[in-house]
Amino acid sequence: MSRSSRKKPENFAKQMAKGAKEAILDLHVKQLIVVRQNNNGSLPNGFIDEVVASLTSQGIEATRHTIYNHEKKLRRKSIPSEQPAPSTVRLQVRLANPNNTPAKVTSPSATTNQGGRPRGSTISAKFNLEKATNDGLEFAASKILRARAQARKTTLSTGIISSIINEANTLHNLKEHAMLKRSTVLSRVHRGNPKGWAGHPKTSTPMKLVEPILVALCLKLVRSGHGQPLDCTEFLAMASSLVKDTPTEKAILEHRRLSKKSSRAPLLG
C-alpha cells in the first residue's frame, strides 16, 4: 500500500473522530428526549445515570449538567426563530350576503398532515426493546434457577415456569410479538447462565455499546453527502478512532488476550 493510500483512511479517521463525540452525545440525548415524551414528561428512576455511564464508557466526560445543557441546545435547534410567511392564502368570503362572518385567512401548512414518527424514535424503540428483552430473559432465568434450587430434588410445580415467564413479560412490558419464548428462557436455565452471551467474556463483544453509534454514523455520512457507503478500510479506521483511549479499547485488548489473538494484529478487523 502506497503512502498516499495509507494516509487516506488515517485522515478520514481523524476527521470522523473530531465529530464522533458530538454525534454520540446527540444520539444519547435524543433517546432521552423520546423516553421523556413517552413517559409523560418524566424519566424513569436511574435512567439519567445510565446515560451518563454509557457516555463515560465511550470516552466522553459527561455529567447530568452536560446532558441537560445539550438537551436545551437540541430543543432550541428544533424550534424555528420565526414562522415563515405563507406562500398562498385562501380567503373564505361570500359577497352575496353582507351578514356573513369576517373573512378567514388560512395557510396551507395549517391543514397539511404533519404525521409520521418523531425523528429518532424508531432507533430508540429498538434499543429499548432489546434492553427490555435481555432484562426479561435474565429475570425469568434467574427466578427459575432460584425456584429449582429451593425445590431441591423435587421438580417444580405445574405452571410455575409459565407464571414466571408471564411475570417477566408484564414487568418489562413485553407484549405480542416481543414476548419471551419459553425455549429461549429454558436454554439459559439449562446452561445455568441467566445473562446469556453477556455472561461469557470470550464470546460477548466489547463493541456492543459502540455498534449502534457506528451504524448511526455510517447512515449520517451517506445522508450528509459522502455519497456512498464506507469501504472496509474506512470503516475499521473510523471504528478504531472511536474507541481509542476509552474503556472499550481496554476491553477489546482483554478480549483478544482471552481469545488468544495475536497482539501484533490491528485492534479491529
Domain residue ranges in the chain: 18-77, 130-200, 211-258
Residue 4 has pLDDT above 80, yes or no: no
- Beta carbons of 36 and 26 less than 8 angstroms apart: no
Query: All 3 cell numbers of residue 228?
Result: 456512498
**What does the alpha-carbon distance between residue 237 and residue 35 come to, in Å, rounded to a whole number?**
32
Check residue 84 and give its pLDDT: 45
Q: Is 169 exposed, middle or buried (0-12, 13-18, 19+ CB in 10 A)?
A: buried
Q: Which of 70-74, 170-174, 197-201, 265-269 has the lowest mean pLDDT?
A: 197-201
134 Cβ neighbours under 8 A, 6+ residues apart: 196, 198
Output the DSSP codes for 5-29.
HHHHHHHHHHHHHHHHHHHHHHHHH
Averaged pLDDT for residues 52-63: 79
Q: How many other CB atoms are there within 10 angstroms of residue 72's CB atom?
A: 11
What is the signed CA dihedral for 133, 138, 140, 142, rounded to 10 degrees? Answer: 180
**Could you read off the pLDDT of 130-187 as tens digits, one per residue?**
888 889 999 999 999 998 888 776 677 878 999 999 999 999 989 888 899 999 899 8
Q: Quick one: average pLDDT of 97-119?
A: 49
Provide the pLDDT for residue 120: 53
Rounded to whole angstroms, the Cα distance separating 236 from 269 reads: 7
For the residues 20-38, what does the mean pLDDT come to? 81
| pTM of this structure | 0.39
User: Residues 6 or more apart from 54 whose CB is under 8 A from it?
Assistant: 28, 209
Q: Collect all residues with Cβ–Cβ distance below 8 Å to 156 and sequence separation of at least 6.
A: 144, 147, 148
Q: What cell was used for 184?
A: 429461549
Beta strand extents in 50-132 (DSSP E only): 90-91, 105-106
Amino acid at 54: S
Tell me the β-bridge partners of 106. 90
Q: Which of 148, 219, 233, 232 is nearest to 188 (CA)?
A: 148
- HSE-CB of 137 using CA atoms within 13 angstroms: 24
Q: Is the pLDDT of residue 86 over 60?
A: no
Q: Under a CB-based contact definition with an 8 Å cutoff, are residues 109 and 86 in contact?
A: yes
Read off the pLDDT of residues 171-211 as tens digits, 9 standing for 90 and up: 998 988 889 999 989 988 888 888 876 555 555 677 877 88
Amino acid at the residue 165: I
pLDDT at position 144? 92
Alpha-helical (H) ranges within 152-229 are 160-171, 182-191, 211-221
Three-state secondary-structure class, residue 128: helix
The mean pLDDT of 238-266, rounded to a whole number, is 79
Tell me what pLDDT residue 137 has. Answer: 92
